[in-house]
Chain A
């Protein structure tokens, strides 16, 4: 019971500070929202289009680009603005139609379209969408020009007929399959990837920076005072541990429930997700307690806590997905508990598997927790009993 009293006191102190409320509850949810909006599954590359007096064929082309469903088309008044926006990366591509586009084509001339793209993978994907739209129009125009020349009907009439014929032709169905997993798969929803990585980042970071409270308790002589009461050292240590575990579990549960309710994030098998959260929280609590028992000033703990919390999160795939890592770095990442927990969530959520599929991940997290909690208990006991 005294362990619970000490744990409850820790929780009260933690959640009494407004800054902790922000960093434990609000900030992680804001980041999940931000990451989801920026990189989530509904992201469409933005393509700027300059078209001055494009005529019906130019408007038709712009409509086709917008109607492809893959691109977000923005009309821009100045060609230089399109160029500079692509250079700066605010647009993923740019299309510059020549002035009087329809007139040039109707007169049998050659229309020179300028296409700008970013030198990255996304630019190449945008290029494919744009080129296919242009190709469709080019085929119709070539057919119309041929028909007009052979039959003597007007170019516009021939183009209307060619377009009608093209619509009537059966489409060639191409089935596209992808191998491996994408970095931000759409089946997780736009917020899914960010939720699990932010959950792990913040639970661990909060535990490490929460070690400050433990150092304050020791520095103010409160630990010694507690020991002067009829409270055994093991009860005191277990109370401190339960307090830190409580903070981690409350934060983790809040992020899980909040992201599910607000953003519709799926966490997969509930038992598996709960097991991952509990074991990761135990690991985080152990790390926080160890930090709080090794260092003697709050400044040291904050500095090292931030460094470790952010560094391990980055290394463990909580900032950039593990799939983006090289094979070697992916192996290195698995020295962190974050990587194992992320593997577990990936199995539960993306592959829809159950607890039995993440036994290895749970065992590794359990080992992390056991080692860190044992070390922290030993070190804290030594620190408070002198």
Chain B
């Protein structure tokens, strides 16, 4: 395995009776990278990360975390991961501070560090002023933040987040996404599972699309989109000589199609954002006046539909 990879897993397989929940999944995550596992409910995301986190025996395959093999009995490898489950795995009858201190001890932190680090994490997750209240008195968003905070206690090399925004209000959801961006920015490797396409697009450097226990494709958003031949669509609201303008645009490299309409020109292009200045330049040269621009980039939803033949939320 390559040294810079914080996580490397190959050929992961898990069957429950006759049902193959995960069949041969493999990917890697580098330091500071956020990797998203995108798939609908029941796709095999949680089973995959359960094997990666050493919570579930696998039938086949291997997992290395920070160079250490991971099994359900691993102790050293588990020190390198912070696991944030989908459910709110916090003690409702304890305070946030007590929850954090309890798990800090389970992560093997020294007694002197436990209190200090718990206070630090309370500040990170914005619960410092409610640290002494029992968790059952918290809002759903506050519980979610605490759920994530527990995974950060021991400064893990790899943070595993299993659908952390399920059932969260938009404001808390945004706060969680911002936190994940900050953690990744600080150099932490993040494995993020979700069935929300927007979250995967916003957060993840690379995305693995998983369905029926199979990793259908993986790569950057751009790579995935190009993999299935999807291109950016640009709609120009324009007036003047639209025919000439469309011909000029069609001659540009990366423009695959340019169709003039009544008061608009529709283009099919690669990398619309990069190409837009040249498109506008050609329109001006051809005597067309552009009044408005709308760029529609192909998204992962479209990729998922292309790969699986069904919508992401089916």
Residue of B nearest to A228 (CB): B83
Chain B residues whose CB sits within 8 angstroms of the CB of A221 once the complex forms:
85, 87-89
Chain B residues whose CB sits within 8 angstroms of the CB of A224 once the complex forms:
55, 85, 89
B53 within 8 A of A: yes
Choose from B72, B87, B94, B107 the contact partner of A229 (Cβ within 8 Å).
B107
Tell me the count of chain A residues lying within 8 A, CB to CB, of chain B: 23
Pair A13/B75 contact, Cβ less than 8 Å: no
Chain A residues whose CB sits within 8 angstroms of the CB of B57 once the complex forms:
385-386
**Is chain A's interface secondary structure helix, strand, loop, or mixed overall?**
helix
Pair B76/A220 contact, Cβ less than 8 Å: no
B79 within 8 A of A: yes
B213 within 8 A of A: no
- Provide the bound-state CA to CA distance between A84 and B285, in Å: 118
- Provide the bound-state CA to CA distance between A13 and B98, in Å: 11
Pair B87/A385 contact, Cβ less than 8 Å: no
B138 within 8 A of A: no
B64 within 8 A of A: no
Pair A228/B54 contact, Cβ less than 8 Å: yes
A17 within 8 A of B: yes
Chain A residues whose CB sits within 8 angstroms of the CB of B150 once the complex forms:
225
Chain A residues whose CB sits within 8 angstroms of the CB of B81 once the complex forms:
228
A75 to chain B, nearest CB (A): 57
A109 within 8 A of B: no
- Provide the bound-state CA to CA distance between A6 and B105, in Å: 9
Pair B75/A220 contact, Cβ less than 8 Å: no
Pair B89/A229 contact, Cβ less than 8 Å: no
Pair A385/B72 contact, Cβ less than 8 Å: yes
Choose from A2, A13, A233, A385 the contact partner of B94 (Cβ within 8 Å).
A13
Known: A12-B98, A17-B93. A386 touches B107 (CB 8 A): no
A38 within 8 A of B: no
CB contacts between A and B, total, < 8 Å: 75
A222 to chain B, nearest CB (A): 5
Chain A residues whose CB sits within 8 angstroms of the CB of B91 once the complex forms:
9, 13, 220, 222
B window 89-103: CB within 8 A of A:
89-94, 98, 102-103
Pair A225/B79 contact, Cβ less than 8 Å: no
Q: Mark B41-72, 1 if CB is under 8 A from A, else 0.
A: 00000000010011111000000000000001
Pair B87/A230 contact, Cβ less than 8 Å: no
- Provide the bound-state CA to CA distance between A309 and B46, in Å: 38
Pair B89/A230 contact, Cβ less than 8 Å: no
- Provide the bound-state CA to CA distance between A92 and B55, in Å: 67
Residue of A nearest to B54 (CB): A228
Chain A residues whose CB sits within 8 angstroms of the CB of B50 once the complex forms:
386
Residue of A nearest to B160 (CB): A228
B115 to chain A, nearest CB (A): 14
Residue of A nearest to B134 (CB): A16
Pair B93/A13 contact, Cβ less than 8 Å: yes
B190 to chain A, nearest CB (A): 15
Pair A230/B76 contact, Cβ less than 8 Å: yes
Q: Mark A226-255, 1 if CB is under 8 A from B, else 0.
A: 111111110000000000000000000000
B106 within 8 A of A: yes
Choose from B56, B87, B102 the contact partner of A9 (Cβ within 8 Å).
B102
Known: A13-B93, A222-B91, A230-B76. A5 touches B55 (CB 8 A): no
Pair B76/A225 contact, Cβ less than 8 Å: no
Pair A230/B85 contact, Cβ less than 8 Å: no
Q: Which A residues contact B (CB, under 8 angstroms)?
A: 2, 5-6, 9, 12-13, 16-17, 220-222, 224-233, 385-386
**21 sampled A-B residue pairs with Cβ under 8 A:** A5-B105, A6-B106, A13-B94, A16-B93, A220-B87, A221-B87, A221-B89, A222-B89, A222-B91, A224-B55, A224-B85, A225-B85, A225-B103, A226-B106, A227-B54, A227-B55, A232-B73, A233-B73, A385-B55, A386-B50, A386-B55
